Chain A
Amino acid sequence: MALRELASLEKYLGLKKPNKYSTQGDKKVPVLQNNNGPPLVGQVTIACHLVKEAKRAELLGDGAEGRAVVQQWLEYKVTKLDCCCKEDIKTILKDLNLYLQDKVYLAGNQFTVADTLMYYGIHPLIVDLAIQEKEQYVNVTRWFDHIQHYPGVRHHLPPVVVLRNRIYTGRLH
């Protein structure tokens, strides 16, 4: 999973030569053999390295605060999202929905690598949502729809249909 996400990220970043990854341990933590240094371990570490290699440092956030927010969400992605069980889904979506209420991207007004990886991570959750639930977490779906249509991001994932109109207004049936 993590490897495909990294491959998609590489493509988004426009890196010409795809890297070769191996995995480590039961949880299949991705490992990148670096030509001129020690191997890099872990999805977030590798992702940040790829961003720098592509000379797209702006994707890691603007200023100290922005960078911290990006790191925060990258960490959230690997610790919460990637190993969430069924019971957590609702809490995750609820919290994220609240957080995204007044934001276009996770870091505010700027697209960052956190949006990409969070999109990859949350995709399996969104795919399974019924239309009514998508409407319930309307801020998440708005953000999700925006990211999946963001040029070059989607790659290996199937698109998810998101309705533009609310159909569950009024009382629930």
Chain B
Amino acid sequence: MTKEDVQGATEEEQQAQSKKALKKQQKEAEKAAKKAEKQAKQAAEQQSTEEDDFAKDRYGVSAMVQSQQKLDRTLVRVQDLTAEKADQLIWLRARVHTSRAKGKQCFLVLRQQQFNVQALVAVGDRASKQMVKFAANITKESIVDVEAAVRKVEQKIESCSQQDVELHIERIFVISQAEARLPLQLEDAVRPDGDGEEEGRATVNQDTKLDNRVIDLRTTTSQAIFRLQSGVCQLFRDTLTQKGFVEIQTPKIISAASEGGANVFTVSYFKTSAYLAQSPQLYKQMCICADFDKVFCVGPVFRAEDSNTHRHLTEFVGLDIEMAFNYHYHEVIDSITDTMVQIFKGLRDNFQTEIQTVNKQFPSEPFKFLEPTLRLEYTEAVAMLHEAGVEMGDEDDLSTPNEKLLGRLVKEKYDTDFYVLDKYPLAVRPFYTMPDPNNPKYSNSYDMFMRGEEILSGAQRIHDAQLLTDRATHHQIDLEKIKAYIDSFRYGAPPHGGGGIGLERVCMLYLGLHNVRQTSMFPRDPKRLTP
């Protein structure tokens, strides 16, 4: 190809392009003209009407709240809007969940956390045409202050949590305006899995939800999940405090990994490196050696396992228990299971609304448990699995599918979603696990399961420095690195045991959810560091 040819070609191209560009420009100009016309028309309309808008003080965008004034105004909570409040004039702050204009009326659904109420602005002696228009144009998720009369309704409003009343708005002010385009629609985010497909409606996938967590957390389901989670923590604390436990705080930056170095995060620590704690294991044991007798700890726990499963996070909240016992480690198991049962009971009795709310989106059977808690020995469990046709060795660890299957078998036989599996093979447990006195192949260790998934791992710990040293050597652990730990048992240590629970897992399994990310507010996994 010669140079000229190339030039000719590009010229042609340019011409073609410029033609296209010209057309585009023309179109844009037309558009702009139309827009300007429309704006002018609107402005004119507004001007002409503004003068005779008798209600112009009753609505608008408020000045930014910079704490200019202390208003003597009581804001009523949406959940308190019941038939009892009928015919009262109240103030309310809420989000605009949806708004729908219909002629001279505008219906709004005002939402506050998991509660919502229907409100309406109608042209009349309190509201003008312009006010209705203004209300209809408030973007979704904006926060508004509303003065309204509570009115009983004849027919229940099925779509709202407050079904007996609606609000007749007399004043409406926007306190914080949301951008018009939301990254996801709240209705789509709470739609049960199957429903969207049938009706051809959108559902939001997990990643989109997590990417826009702040919005997703506003959904009724998320609100309920995290209220319940807070309840779990509170019940855990209350129960243990009542049992005479002391809450402790332990460091998360530690010098040595507690269970081998493979799955810990390393952080640079001035001129050397440190690790993020996999569990407060060593520290709670040291507290026992320091005569604290019964301790618990609620705090972050880190696992550097590169596993992308429905139930693994790299950072989660650990609920850890450690206690000294008198003669048998079953005293510890009983104490922990009783704590769990108290939590389950507390949730069942005090969080029914939240459970129902989550069930609407993620249906599951109610959580079942026995009192006292069912305790199975590992050998019994292996026998049950053998009977169901599973081939596994007596001292093999439980694989995840077998774990789940065992959960099903136990549920079928004993009708419980919560049970303890006792006497694990020594080989599959960490070095500080106390061997079984009757059979050295087994150990005084236990796991607890909810709906067939492990939530707690625990054991009687070795409180004898010599045996501990032997076991650590057997596991090929560098004794230098755990010297401080072993030394703490040299000066008199009581027999003790304990365990650690994952808060997110407990919530997930209690509610019968399918992914631990749903019960972690800002989940961390190998592929997610934000938000």
Contact = CB atoms under 8 A, between A and B. Distances in A.
Contacts of B512: 171, 173
Nearest to B404: A173
Interface stretch (B202-210, B243-251, B271-279, B408-416): B408-416
B388 A171 contact: no
A167 B411 contact: yes
Interface centre among B389, B405, B452 (most CB of A within 10 A): B389
Interface in B21-74: none
Contact of B412 (A130, A160, A167): A167
A171 B408 CA distance: 12
A131 B388 contact: yes
B192 to A, nearest CB: 12
B409 A130 contact: no
Interface string A153-173: 000000011010111101101
Contacts of A168: 408
B412 A165 contact: yes
Contacts, number: 27
B364 interface: yes
A170 B412 CA distance: 12
B365 A161 contact: no
Given A130-B401, A173-B404, A173-B452, A167 B409 contact: yes
Nearest to B365: A170
Nearest to B412: A167
B320 to A, nearest CB: 27
Contacts of A171: 363-365, 512
Main SS class of interface, A? loop
Given A161-B387, A163-B388, A173 B412 contact: no
A160 B390 CA distance: 11
A161 B412 contact: no
A161 B512 CA distance: 29
A131 B387 CA distance: 12
A161 B388 contact: yes
Contacts of B387: 161
A134 to B, nearest CB: 9
A5 B29 CA distance: 83
B303 interface: no
Interface centre among A160, A166, A168, A173 (most CB of B within 10 A): A173
Contacts of A163: 388
Interface in A52-89: none
A157 B408 CA distance: 28
Interface in B414-469: 451-452
Nearest to A168: B408
Contacts of A130: 401
Contacts of B412: 165-167
Interface string B352-377: 00000000000111000000000000
A166 B363 CA distance: 20
A131 B81 CA distance: 51
Contacts of A165: 412
A130 B385 CA distance: 12
A125 to B, nearest CB: 15
Contacts of A161: 387-389
Given A130-B401, A131-B408, 11 more contacts: A131-B405, A160-B389, A161-B388, A161-B389, A163-B388, A167-B409, A167-B411, A170-B365, A171-B364, A171-B365, A173-B512
Interface of A: 130-131, 160-161, 163, 165-168, 170-171, 173
9 contacts: A130-B401, A131-B388, A131-B408, A160-B389, A161-B388, A163-B388, A168-B408, A171-B365, A173-B512
Top 4 A-B pairs, shortest CB-CB distance: A161-B389, A167-B408, A167-B412, A170-B365
